Amino acid sequence: MPDMTAAADWLAATGPSIQLQATTWSVPLTQTVHILAIAALLTCIAMLNARLAGLIGRDEILADAVYRFGRPLPWALAVLFASGVILVLAEPHREFENQLFWIKMALVAASAVLTFIGFRWVAGRRFDDLSRAERGRLIVFAAVSTFLWLAIAVCGRWIAYVDVL
Ligand code: HEM
């Protein structure tokens, strides 16, 4: 594991980090933006995966659901990334020296790739028109995707409760 303390020391000494450290409202405001983007992302993921698993909207064309609930996802992820970077800049030691932060980042990368691969799978058909094998694949995909995004949220909140390395 590279020396995260040295990396955090370097980042904490940069102009933007010093500015953010001196501004008392920057972290709470950024956390609020982060939490609103989490709400948007998890709502889209829930609406989408419930359809992919055939729980709701079984008569809808799956690709339409992906178009409707998938479109806001890259925007929500972009806001999460930007607000996340600001939170890292404001408190580099708190994040860089925390294993949960790195586990979360790995999960975010894996979940984003899985989600966009999953979208490609979804044909222009309705859930009820799919074969048993196709339905089974989509149900497993929806379950794994939901678990991963929720695990990220848990890691994100848990960072505050785990002692640094
Ligand atoms: C895309 C890249 C992301 C980055 C760089 C990032 C970074 C961060 C950072 C630095 C924190 C502050 C942790 C602390 O010091 O307590 C945080 C908090 C949090 N993050 Fe993220 N995050 C990202 C994406 C996500 C996603 C996708 C989710 C959920 C699906 C998420 C959920 C959370 C939660 C629940 C918190 C705690 C918020 C609070 O209670 O203040 N994050 N994130």
CB of 156 within 6 A of ligand 1: the answer is yes
Q: What is the DSSP letter of 124?
A: S
Best CA proximity match to 76, nearest among 46, 97, 102, 100: 46
pTM for the whole thing? 0.90
CB of 155 within 6 A of ligand 1: the answer is no
Q: Rounded mean pLDDT of 116-138?
A: 77
pLDDT of residue 124: 65
Q: Rounded mean pLDDT of 2-29?
A: 94
pLDDT of residue 57: 82
- 53 C-alpha vs ligand 1 centroid, how far in Å? 27
Burial of 8 (0-12, 13-18, 19+ CB in 10 A): buried
CB of 151 within 6 A of ligand 1: the answer is no
CB of 31 within 6 A of ligand 1: the answer is yes
Whether residue 120 has pLDDT greater than 90: no
Q: Rounded mean pLDDT of 86-90?
A: 97
Alpha-carbon torsion angle 131, 132, 133, 137, nearest 10 = 100
In the predicted model, what is the mean pLDDT of the chain? 90
In sequence order, which residues have a C-beta less than 8 Å from that of residue 33 and are 6 or more positions away?
79, 83
- In the structure, what pLDDT confidence band is assigned to residue 158 with cuts at 50, 70 and 90? very high
pLDDT of residue 134: 85
pLDDT of residue 1: 55
- In the structure, what pLDDT confidence band is assigned to residue 52 with cuts at 50, 70 and 90? confident
> Would you say 80 and 37 are in contact if contact means Cβ atoms under 8 Å apart?
yes
- In the structure, what pLDDT confidence band is assigned to residue 2 with cuts at 50, 70 and 90? low
Neighbours of 11 (CB within 10 A): 17
Q: Whose CA is nearest to atom 38 of ligand 1?
A: 157
List, for residues 101-119, the tens digit of each pLDDT value.
999 999 999 999 988 887 7
Share of the chain above pLDDT 90, in %: 64
Ligand 1 atom having least distance to the Cα of 41: 30
